[in-house]
């Protein structure tokens, strides 16, 4: 693909410093970009590459001041990462989308598929499924009976969606994700034997959600497990039954959310965070990686540790914790001195 810098500037609403007629063929990382590439700079760790790059164009924040000229044409934007998102979406849309139904798929006659859709080979779609317009369903996908899928959904190969789940519009589900598997519900009897509690609820995924590879979202025991609009889930995340994840939350890899917990809107949860069941996590919270949450958390806070508590308090406690060996030596020394004083 060939596109002029002036066209890109119009797309991302950028101010141009340099030659607007230069042709861009692809995006690339700042440390490896060459002629024809457009790259970006935002993280100070990569500053040296900004002055070494051989890219043809660089996205820069409007406030950033160059300490020396660079040969690349500069595109100044208000938000580098937001501009990058628009740019990548533009380049991604140039890829040809597949259309049509593979003859190697197995689709029940009752299934309704919207216009301009695609279903790959060896995909199985059970009865009474409804799929919206412009859906892209890869190979070896399983979609159970009664599932509803919205418009402009992309489902990558190997995904499994169990019966009666609902998937919104503009949703992306990556390979080997499982939506609607049974929640972890068992009841012990008087002999200590665990009896399975049937999980008769479903899962509802809102619009503009992205679900990473190998992530599992359990169906509700009754009612719905809810992943609301705009949520972004990384790979290898476990979402338990009847969990509610609020709008525009982002959750990093290997996090686990136990059953019936609720997470408020616009929250950010780091990797390997564990959240116990039946908790209420507020809006606009940040949970640092590897935190363990065992109590409700108020809105608008940053939390860390196991059990997780307010970040600043944790860091003060950690500063003391690191000194415990030395403090112990001092206490023992003082005890020894005190014992000697008592003898005298």
Give the distance from CA 214 to its chain's centroid.
12
From residue 199, give the alpha-carbon distance in Å to each of 18, 255, 333: 61, 22, 61
DSSP string across 139-172: TT-EE-TT-EE-TT-EE-TT-EE-TT-EE-TT-E
Q: Which residues are catalytic?
A: 241
Residue that has been written with the tokens 């020894």 in this structure: 336
Secondary structure of residue 173 in the 3-state scheme: strand
Residue 72, both tokens: 């690349």
How many contiguous H segments (helices) and E segments (strands) does the chain have?
Answer: 5, 40
pLDDT at 137: 97
Closest among 164, 163, 106, 110 to 137, alpha carbons compared: 106
Question: Cβ neighbours of residue 174 under 8 Å, at least 6 residues apart?
Answer: 156, 159, 210, 211, 212, 213, 215, 235
Question: Cβ neighbours of residue 43 under 8 Å, at least 6 residues apart?
Answer: none
Tell me the pLDDT of the chain (344 aa) as tens digits: 899 999 999 999 999 999 999 999 999 999 999 999 999 999 999 999 999 999 999 999 999 999 999 999 999 999 999 999 999 988 886 566 788 999 999 999 999 999 999 999 999 999 999 999 999 999 999 999 999 999 999 999 999 999 999 999 999 999 999 999 999 999 999 999 999 999 999 999 999 999 999 999 999 999 999 999 999 999 999 999 999 999 999 999 999 999 999 999 999 999 999 999 999 999 999 999 999 999 999 999 999 988 888 888 888 888 888 888 888 998 998 988 888 888 86
pLDDT at 211: 98
pLDDT at 96: 66
- Decide: 164 and 182 in contact? Cβ < 8 Å: no
CA separation for the pair 231, 235 (Å, rounded): 13
pLDDT at 315: 83
Question: Cβ neighbours of residue 27 under 8 Å, at least 6 residues apart?
Answer: 37, 38, 39, 87, 88, 91
Give the distance from CA 276 to its chain's centroid.
20
- Decide: 66 and 84 in contact? Cβ < 8 Å: no
pLDDT at 95: 64
Question: Cβ neighbours of residue 183 under 8 Å, at least 6 residues apart?
Answer: 199, 201, 218, 219, 220, 221, 225, 240, 241, 242, 259
């Amino acid at each position: 693909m060939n596109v002029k810098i002036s066209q890109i500037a119009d797309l991302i609403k950028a101010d141009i410093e340099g030659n607007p007629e230069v042709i861009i063929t692809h995006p690339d990382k700042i440390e490896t970009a060459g002629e024809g590439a457009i790259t970006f700079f935002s993280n100070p760790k990569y500053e040296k590459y900004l002055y070494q790059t051989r890219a043809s164009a660089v996205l820069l924040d409007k406030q950033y001041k160059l300490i020396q000229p660079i040969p690349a044409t500069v595109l100044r934007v208000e938000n580098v990462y937001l501009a990058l998102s628009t740019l990548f979406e533009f380049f991604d849309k140039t890829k040809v989308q597949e259309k049509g139904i593979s003859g190697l798929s197995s689709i029940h006659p009752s299934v309704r598929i919207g216009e301009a859709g695609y279903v790959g080979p060896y995909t199985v779609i059970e009865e009474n499924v409804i799929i919206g317009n412009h859906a892209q369903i890869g190979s070896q996908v399983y979609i159970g009976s009664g599932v509803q899928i919205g418009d402009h959904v992309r489902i990558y190969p190997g995904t499994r969606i169990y019966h009666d789940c609902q998937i919104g519009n503009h949703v992306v589900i990556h390979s080997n994700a499982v939506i609607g598997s049974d929640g972890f519900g068992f009841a012990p009897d008087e002999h200590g034997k665990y009896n399975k509690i049937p999980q008769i609820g479903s899962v509802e995924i809102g619009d503009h959600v992205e679900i990473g590879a190998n992530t599992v979202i359990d169906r509700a025991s009754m009612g719905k497990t809810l992943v609301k609009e705009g949520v972004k889930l990384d790979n290898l995340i476990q979402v338990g039954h009847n969990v509610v994840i609020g709008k525009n939350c982002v959750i990093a890899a290997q996090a686990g959310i136990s059953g019936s917990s609720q997470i408020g809107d616009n929250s950010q949860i780091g990797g390997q965070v564990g959240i116990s069941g039946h908790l209420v996590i507020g809006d606009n919270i940040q949970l640092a990686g590897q935190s363990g949450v065992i109590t409700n958390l108020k809105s608008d806070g940053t939390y860390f540790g196991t059990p997780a508590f307010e970040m600043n308090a944790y860091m003060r406690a950690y500063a003391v914790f690191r000194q415990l060996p030395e403090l112990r030596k001092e206490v023992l020394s003082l005890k020894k001195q005190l014992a000697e004083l008592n003898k005298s």
